[in-house]
């Protein structure tokens, strides 16, 4: 009888050098349909993280997860609203989802308590939601703060309460309500009603305000007149609230993968240059599978940046352009249904780049002086939970991490993907937000080693509406004052679409970015001093501000 070969042995081995073909080989495995979209807390993500750990084991890296393994399990689970949550005004109950909708705890958006009761608290009207609070913190303390709907750029009432700012203005209030329930679209309401991924051991301690949306009817019942006719600081009746949540831990567990290449300098090896990517993605499409080529043709015309471009019904002109593309593809191959979010670029590209860096460095003739810490974060797509957990519970002393280099989506960026795109196109974010020296070093390495990248800094501007600074794992390091730099080749038609597949990745580009990260990491690791932090450190528990 023949012995069955383990799966890993069937893939041809990669070489020590960082090459386009090694990266392609790895990505074909990592972003294959068999990984089922790598959604954190599912079998697919479990399998993908097992592949990373098996490679690290084979290469001989030092495990730096928990209990001597490469893994750090995170307490990811789903949290829903318990139907017994209630709000009472003058002894009369408001109706859940019709009159009030509890807000979930999304640390970066709504830093609210999800469980707790507040008895007989006084309601106070605080004007429209916005960045300029009308109450003093003392006036808001222990009260139910009721806001009118914020105004959008055209002066119309808006349901987009997170874009308005100001939700976190009164951290000592008992509860915060915004009267937007009637204008909240069904899809957004469904989101509030659904069970959301959470770190179940890191819920706010209950002293944070409860949060909810209120219907106009309920808000007017509170104050006895239309909100338009209320003056800020108007006081209403006493209200009692009790919010409850349901919690379910993910099985199999979601897990970060953590490994180290020990530095060569006995004095400096206790400091780490961290390099990060996220191994998870969006999983499987719920509902009917879609035709791959048709979807791609549609997005090429209507959503050139994928999920980043808002959907709109195509105009007649656009429809004929979509048909043209679809028909020319159909002439080459039959269109096929697809239901797997492969996440080849997002962030398969960064995940396999880290493996190539590990493979290069472990066999390099000379190791860097400082140690190199590799972290494949999980649950980035759900809300940066893997990196939040790792930085709250680091497996090396937090202060020993001298910088974090984050790569997320680094395999695209040609002229068909993005304006000004091309072989040297690279977006860079955050490089000078804590350390001017790091920002300068990034530029110097690009010039010194002839990488020839043209850095696009536009997404790094303060207040940029796309908020990239707050939207990938590097932020979780930056909030603790660790200098970070984030590299990405940017968004494209396949971003968060079923069509983000290995066949559309530019492997020469991916190899070039990976090699640049290598040179940068080595430069920081070999500095004769620790990178100087010359900017103000943020409050690690405050919401991110770009």
Residues in contact with Zn ion by the rule CB under 5 A: 346
β-partners of residue 87 are: 241
Cβ of residue 381: shortest distance to Zn ion, in angstroms? 5
**Closer CB to Zn ion, 346 or 456, in the complex:** 346
Q: Tell which residue, 144, 149, 148, has the closest CA to residue 174.
A: 144
Cβ of residue 494: shortest distance to Zn ion, in angstroms? 11
Helices (H) and strands (E) in the chain, counts: 15, 22
User: Which residues, in sequence order, are CB contacts of 235 under 8 Å at separation 6+?
Assistant: 122, 123, 124, 125
**Closer CB to Zn ion, 150 or 343, in the complex:** 343
* Both tokens assigned to 155: 């002066």
**Closer CB to Zn ion, 346 or 388, in the complex:** 346
Cβ of residue 83: shortest distance to Zn ion, in angstroms? 32
**Closer CB to Zn ion, 99 or 346, in the complex:** 346
Cβ of residue 310: shortest distance to Zn ion, in angstroms? 17
Contact (Cβ atoms closer than 8 angstroms) between residue 536 and residue 379: no
**Closer CB to Zn ion, 402 or 429, in the complex:** 429
Nearest residue to Zn ion, scored by beta-carbon proximity: 346
Cβ of residue 438: shortest distance to Zn ion, in angstroms? 25
Cβ of residue 382: shortest distance to Zn ion, in angstroms? 10
CA dihedral angle for residue 45, residue 396, residue 107, residue 494, rounded to 10 degrees: -40
Alpha-helix runs per DSSP H in 17-132: 20-30, 43-59
Rounded-to-integer distance, Cα 197 and Cα 271, Å: 33
**Closer CB to Zn ion, 269 or 281, in the complex:** 281
Cβ of residue 189: shortest distance to Zn ion, in angstroms? 24
Cβ of residue 31: shortest distance to Zn ion, in angstroms? 13
Exposed e or buried b per residue across 349-385, where buried means at least 16 C-beta atoms within 10 angstroms of its C-beta: bbbbbbbbbbbbbbeeeebbbbbbbbbbbbbbbbbbb
**Closer CB to Zn ion, 346 or 356, in the complex:** 346
Instruction: Report the half-sphere exposure of 166 (CA within 13 A, side-chain side).
Output: 23
User: Which residues, in sequence order, are CB contacts of 145 under 8 Å at separation 6+?
Assistant: 124, 126, 135, 170, 173, 175, 176, 177, 209
**Closer CB to Zn ion, 169 or 277, in the complex:** 277
- What is the phi-psi region of residue 228: left when phi exceeds 0, alpha when psi lies from -120 to 50, beta otherwise? alpha
SS3 380: helix
């Amino acid at each position: 009888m023949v012995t069955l070969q383990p799966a890993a042995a069937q893939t041809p081995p990669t070489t020590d050098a960082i090459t386009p073909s090694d990266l392609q080989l790895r990505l074909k495995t990592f972003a294959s349909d068999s990984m089922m979209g790598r959604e954190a807390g599912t079998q697919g993500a479990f399998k993908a993280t097992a592949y990373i750990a098996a490679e690290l084991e084979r290469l001989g890296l030092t495990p730096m997860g928990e209990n001597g393994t490469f893994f750090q399990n995170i307490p990811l689970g789903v949290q829903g609203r318990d139907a017994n949550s209630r709000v009472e005004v003058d002894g009369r109950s408001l109706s859940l989802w019709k009159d009030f909708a509890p807000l979930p705890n999304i640390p970066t958006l709504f830093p609210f308590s999800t469980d707790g009761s507040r008895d007989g608290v006084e309601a106070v009207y605080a004007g429209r939601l916005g960045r300029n609070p009308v109450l003093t913190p003392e006036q808001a303390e222990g009260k139910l703060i009721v806001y009118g709907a914020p105004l959008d750029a055209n002066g119309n009432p808006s349901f987009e309460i997170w874009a308005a700012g100001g939700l976190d203005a009164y951290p000592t209030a008992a509860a915060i309500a915004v009267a937007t329930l009637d204008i909240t679209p069904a899809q957004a309401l469904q989101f509030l009603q659904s069970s959301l991924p959470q770190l179940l051991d890191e819920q706010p301690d209950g002293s944070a305000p409860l949060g909810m949306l209120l219907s106009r009817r309920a808000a007017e019942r509170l104050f006895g007149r239309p909100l338009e006719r209320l003056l800020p600081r108007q006081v209403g009746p006493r209200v009692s609230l009790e919010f409850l949540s349901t919690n379910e831990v993910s099985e199999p567990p979601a897990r970060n993968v953590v490994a180290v290449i020990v530095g060569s300098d006995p004095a400096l090896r206790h400091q780490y240059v961290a390099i990060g990517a996220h191994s998870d993605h969006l999983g499987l499409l719920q509902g009917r599978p879609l035709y791959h080529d048709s979807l791609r043709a549609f997005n090429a015309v209507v959503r050139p940046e994928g999920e980043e471009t808002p959907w709109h019904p195509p105009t007649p002109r656009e429809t004929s352009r979509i048909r043209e593309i679809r028909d020319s593809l159909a002439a080459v191959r039959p269109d096929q249904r697809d239901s797997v979010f492969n996440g080849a670029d997002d962030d398969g590209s960064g995940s396999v780049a880290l493996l190539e860096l590990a493979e290069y460095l472990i066999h390099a003739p000379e190791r860097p002086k400082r140690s190199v810490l590799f972290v494949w974060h999980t649950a980035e797509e759900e809300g940066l939970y893997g990196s939040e957990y790792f930085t709250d519970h680091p497996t090396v002393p937090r202060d020993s991490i001298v910088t974090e280099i984050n790569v997320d989506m680094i395999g695209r960026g040609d002229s068909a993907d993005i304006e000004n795109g091309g072989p040297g196109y690279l977006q860079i974010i955050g490089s000078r937000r804590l350390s001017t020296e790091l920002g300068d070093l990034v530029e110097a390495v690009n010039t010194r080693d002839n990488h020839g990248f043209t850095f696009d800094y536009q997404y790094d501007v303060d207040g940029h509406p796309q908020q990239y600074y707050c939207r990938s794992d590097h932020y979780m390091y930056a909030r603790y004052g660790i200098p970070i730099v984030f590299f990405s080749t940017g968004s494209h038609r396949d971003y968060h679409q079923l069509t983000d597949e290995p066949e559309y990745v530019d492997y020469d580009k991916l190899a070039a970015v990976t090699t640049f990260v290598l040179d940068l990491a080595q430069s920081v690791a070999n500095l004769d001093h620790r990178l100087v932090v010359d900017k103000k450190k943020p409050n690690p528990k405050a919401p991110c501000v770009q």
